[in-house]
Amino acid sequence: MSFVITPPAVVSVPVVGTTARFPVNRVYCVGRNYEEHAKEMGFTGREPPFFFLKPADAVVVVNAGETGSIPYPSLTKNLHHEIELVVAVGTGGKNIRAADAHKHIYGYAVGLDMTRRDLQGEMKKQGRPWEIGKAYDHSAPIGPITPVAQAGDAANAEIYLQVDGKDRQRSTVSKLIWNIGEIFEHLSAAWELQPGDLIYTGTPEGVAAVVSGNTMVGGVAGLETLTVKVL
Ligand code: MN
């Protein structure tokens, strides 16, 4: 087959324990999925789950032990960090029941749902789509994926983010409003999940701004740490 232009490269994430990589298909994100974060954003914390997407080429891959980097994005004066547990989908499907979700999970990683908060806020106010605030270039840093069998109890793991060595976010994945099984159930009712999909499961409270020169270190117990510098 020939193409009239050069096809885009497949985005892929390293996997702990193998040189083979995880190819990225879609990137789904869950909105307001920790109660204390929903409250800090001005909501009650009780609402049906909702989702948005980022393009696969917004993913910024950071290798184990390395410091990745993202440019400070255009148009914003309020770039926020959101540390999140990311689920890597190994087997697709639609109408997956919560109790069966574990059969579809390849592994877990630490991710950042970087957000141009001022632009997102303006879109919310106008009832317009969030893409300009959420789905911009370099908006989805991710560390290596750990296969489920080596990942420990991700559903109950501590999750944290530090900026320049100081705690900004610290919670536990067990505080997810919609847990991983329920996320699969709701997502796969709306879209057919595919192998290679990533699901950013939501962020706990403590989201705040970063500026050029800041270094973010984020983790979920049992997974590779994610370190990203803002250029
Ligand atoms: Mn988020």
Going from the N-terminus, what domains does the chain have, and what CATH number goes with each?
12-230 (3.90.850.10)
The number of beta carbons lying within 10 Å of the beta carbon of residue 151 is 20
Q: What's the length of the chain?
A: 231
Q: Give the type of residue at 124.
A: K
* Protein residues near ligand 1, an ion, with CB under 5 A: 82, 113, 203
Q: Can you give the pLDDT at residue 9?
A: 95
pLDDT in tens, 56-112: 999 999 999 999 999 999 999 999 999 999 999 999 999 999 999 999 999 999 999
Question: Which residue in the block uniquely carries the two structure tokens 């993913």?
Answer: 59
pLDDT in tens, 129-147: 999 999 999 999 999 999 9
Q: Can you give the pLDDT at residue 44?
A: 81
Q: How far is CA 157 from CA 5, 174, 221, 222, in A?
A: 45, 7, 5, 7
Question: Which residue in the block uniquely carries the two structure tokens 């984020």?
Answer: 218
| Confidence band for 14, pLDDT divided at 50, 70 and 90 | very high
The number of beta carbons lying within 10 Å of the beta carbon of residue 166 is 7
Average pLDDT over residues 118-128: 97
User: How far apart are the CA of 3 and the centre of ligand 1, in A?
Assistant: 36
Percent of the chain past pLDDT 90, that is, above it, reads 97
User: How far apart are the CA of 122 and the centre of ligand 1, in A?
Assistant: 17
Average pLDDT over residues 221-230: 98
User: How far apart are the CA of 30 and the centre of ligand 1, in A?
Assistant: 6
User: How far apart are the CA of 184 and the centre of ligand 1, in A?
Assistant: 16
Here the tokens at position 173 are 């994945």
User: How far apart are the CA of 200 and the centre of ligand 1, in A?
Assistant: 7
pLDDT in tens, 181-204: 999 999 999 999 999 999 999 999
Q: Can you give the pLDDT at residue 59?
A: 98
Q: Can you give the pLDDT at residue 31?
A: 95
Q: What is the mean pLDDT of the chain?
A: 97
pLDDT above 80 for 152: yes
Q: Alpha-carbon torsion 38, 74, 22, 97, what sign?
A: positive
pLDDT above 90 for 48: no
User: How far apart are the CA of 113 and the centre of ligand 1, in A?
Assistant: 5
